[in-house]
Structure 1
Amino acid sequence: MEKGKGLGRRWAIDLTENSTPSSREFPDPLGFDRASQDQDDLTVSRQKKEAEAAWKSQKAWEVAQAPFKNLMMMGFMMWMAGSTVHLFSIGITFSALWQPISALQGVGKVFEPYKDSRVDILAPKLLFIALNLAGLALGIWKLNTLGLLPTHASDWVSSLPPAQEVEYSGGGFPLH
């Protein structure tokens, strides 16, 4: 006869039988309380949710402050480009205008991963918007320094004479 066939195993226990005693029939060990275990599970899950909310809030603030780094870099690049109209300065100025505009169009998508009922993302959104508006203002200022903004009536009407440039110079030594 083959081994294990036809003979019941002497030390095997069938745990699927209903005749085995249930775990409720045995008393809990000393110091063990099922209610405190359930309460501990609730506390742990609450702590995990609070930690996740704190992480989301921190990441939302990091994303909101990211345009500041771009603002400093763009300001330096504009300064290095100078105030003459040439390809590099126009490219830098276009980039300085385009980046904040595209960032402002996608504010909702940027902060979508951080939406949560426990996380207030209004303040990070407002900071993000303010920094991008500052970047846009920097680009407009550069357009003005390049002389590409229409700031006088003659820029709009061809029959008017162009604005007179007024230049002031100071310093030096008086010659008496």
Structure 2
Amino acid sequence: MEKGKGLARKWAVEFAENTSSSSYSGVPDPIGFNRSIQDLDDANGGRQKKDAEAAWKSQKAWEVAQAPLKNLFMMGFMMWMAGSTVHLFSIGITFSALWQPISALQGVGKVFEPYKDSRVDILAPKLLFIALNLVGLALGVWKLNTLGLLPTHASDWVSSLPPAQEVEFSGGVLPTY
């Protein structure tokens, strides 16, 4: 005879019966235990986890938004160290100061893509990110101006100005001998 066949087990549990009732196999729940409260606790735990994730995403979005501020100080220091004369190093630093904010402004959507969530407002971090990059761009334009590479004076445009009209003409009489 095969083991377990034909013999009735004394402690067998039938798992196929409906377990959604308040008691398993006729055994009542303990006093004070309520399944609906347990289900609410599970739902609250899930909500707390989602809230914690939303808070983390919001915090990280603000950190990303403030990152250009560190770059501003470093770029300002590098531009100060480059001096105000036009040479290869100062021009390279200046164009780097212009290129970084421009490329960052082009990729604002990609930068904040990981932090998009219905519970996270990323508009304010995006605006801060854009504002700081615009300040960086203004810093680069200011450095271009101090290097004299921006045409801000009338003398920079002399070749495109029409010749001045003569207001007066003086001439003398040639002596005859």
2:91 maps to amino acid: I
**Mapping of residues 25-104 of structure 1, within 5 Å:** 25-104=26-105
2:57 maps to amino acid: K
User: Whole-Å Cα distance in 2 between the matches of residues 67 and 84 of structure 1?
Assistant: 26
User: Whole-Å Cα distance in 1 between the matches of residues 153 and 59 of structure 2?
Assistant: 47
Change (3 A) 1:46 1:89: same
1:108 maps to amino acid: G
SS at match of 1:156: helix
User: Whole-Å Cα distance in 2 between the matches of residues 5 and 135 of structure 1?
Assistant: 80
User: Whole-Å Cα distance in 1 between the matches of residues 86 and 16 of structure 2?
Assistant: 89
The worse-fitting range, judged by mean Cα deviation, of 94-103 and 150-159 is 150-159
Larger Rg: 2
Pairwise CA distance, 1:155? 2.2
Superposition TM-score, scaled by structure 2 size: 0.79
The worse-fitting range, judged by mean Cα deviation, of 145-154 and 35-44 is 145-154
User: Whole-Å Cα distance in 2 between the matches of residues 159 and 41 of structure 1?
Assistant: 76
Over 6 Å off, 4+ runs: none
User: Whole-Å Cα distance in 2 between the matches of residues 37 and 16 of structure 1?
Assistant: 22
Change (3 A) 1:48 1:16: closer
User: Whole-Å Cα distance in 2 between the matches of residues 17 and 54 of structure 1?
Assistant: 43
2:29 maps to amino acid: D
User: What do residues 106-130 of structure 1 show as CA deviations (whole Å, max 9, x unaligned)?
Assistant: 0000001111111111110000000
Please give the root-mean-square deviation of Cα atoms over the aligned residues, in Å: 2.6
Pairwise CA distance, 1:42? 1.1
The share of aligned pairs that are identical, in percent, is 79
**Mapping of residues 14-33 of structure 1, within 5 Å:** 15=14, 23=24, 25-33=26-34
Which ranges of structure 1 fall in alignment gaps of 5 or more residues? 161-176
Paired position in structure 1 for 2:164:
none
Aligned length: 159
1:35 maps to amino acid: S
Change (3 A) 1:14 1:40: closer
Pairwise CA distance, 1:60? 0.5
SS at match of 2:159: coil
